[in-house]
């Protein structure tokens, strides 16, 4: 080549195409991440939810009694509130225990005591967790009343439990 010859022409689109290709690949990756986050959030909404529990009505003579609805395998219940209607004036109290049978009314399973002055307990979002084969046992009572036990729970799948606890 001589100095008189013009330099070879470069393709001006070459560097631009390379930049656009890199941007396209990065956008595709970000879109996939956002889609996975949206899907994970949708699964969480299905796997962490409030469920209604049928109230337990129990006569004084039938205490201790076990809440009839229990946790199914693969789930955990986060008990949000326990309230008892029908508690008479002092000294009438109801004690709550974790267990699956009336025989669970032992000190190591004790949870709380409710009275006419304090007929509800809010253990906090994660203060009382129940696993399969666990339920609430209601004991005590002195007035001969019929007690109605209401329980509010959030049911969480075992897969979502670590996320729920955070």
pLDDT tens digits, 31-90: 888 888 888 877 777 788 898 888 888 887 778 999 888 899 999 999 999 999 988 887
Q: How far apart are CA 68 and CA 4, in angstroms?
A: 98
Q: What are residue 95's DSSP bridge partners?
A: 113, 139
Q: How far apart are CA 127 and CA 140, in angstroms?
A: 22
Dig out the tokens for 105 from the structure. Answer: 């009314």
Lowest mean pLDDT among 15-19, 32-36, 64-68, 141-145: 15-19
Q: How far apart are CA 125 and CA 50, in angstroms?
A: 12
Shortest CA distance to 135 belongs to which of 14, 13, 49, 53? 53
Higher-confidence position of 138 and 21: 138
Mean pLDDT of 10-20: 67
Asked if residue 78 lies in contact with residue 164, where contact means CB atoms within 8 angstroms, the answer is yes
Dig out the tokens for 14 from the structure. Answer: 């070459």
Dig out the tokens for 131 from the structure. Answer: 């696993």
At 36 the pLDDT is 87
pTM: 0.73
At 156 the pLDDT is 94
Asked if residue 120 lies in contact with residue 82, where contact means CB atoms within 8 angstroms, the answer is yes
Show contacts of 26-32: CB within 8 Å, 24+ apart.
none
Alpha helices in the chain (DSSP H): 13-47, 161-165
């Amino acid at each position: 080549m001589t100095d008189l010859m013009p330099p070879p022409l470069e393709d001006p689109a070459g560097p631009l195409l390379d930049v656009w290709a890199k941007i396209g690949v990065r956008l595709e990756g970000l879109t996939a991440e956002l889609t996975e986050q949206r899907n994970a959030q949708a699964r969480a909404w299905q796997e962490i939810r409030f469920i209604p529990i049928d109230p337990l009505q129990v006569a004084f003579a039938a205490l201790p009694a076990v809440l009839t609805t229990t946790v199914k395998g693969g789930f955990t219940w986060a008990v949000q509130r326990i309230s008892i209607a029908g508690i008479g004036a002092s000294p009438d109290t109801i004690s709550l225990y974790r267990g699956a049978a009336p025989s669970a009314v032992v000190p190591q399973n004790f949870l709380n005591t409710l009275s006419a002055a304090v007929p509800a307990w809010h253990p906090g979002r994660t203060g009382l967790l129940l696993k399969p084969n666990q339920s609430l046992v209601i004991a005590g009572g002195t007035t001969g009343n019929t007690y109605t036990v209401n329980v509010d729970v959030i049911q969480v799948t075992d897969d979502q439990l670590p996320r729920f606890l955070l």
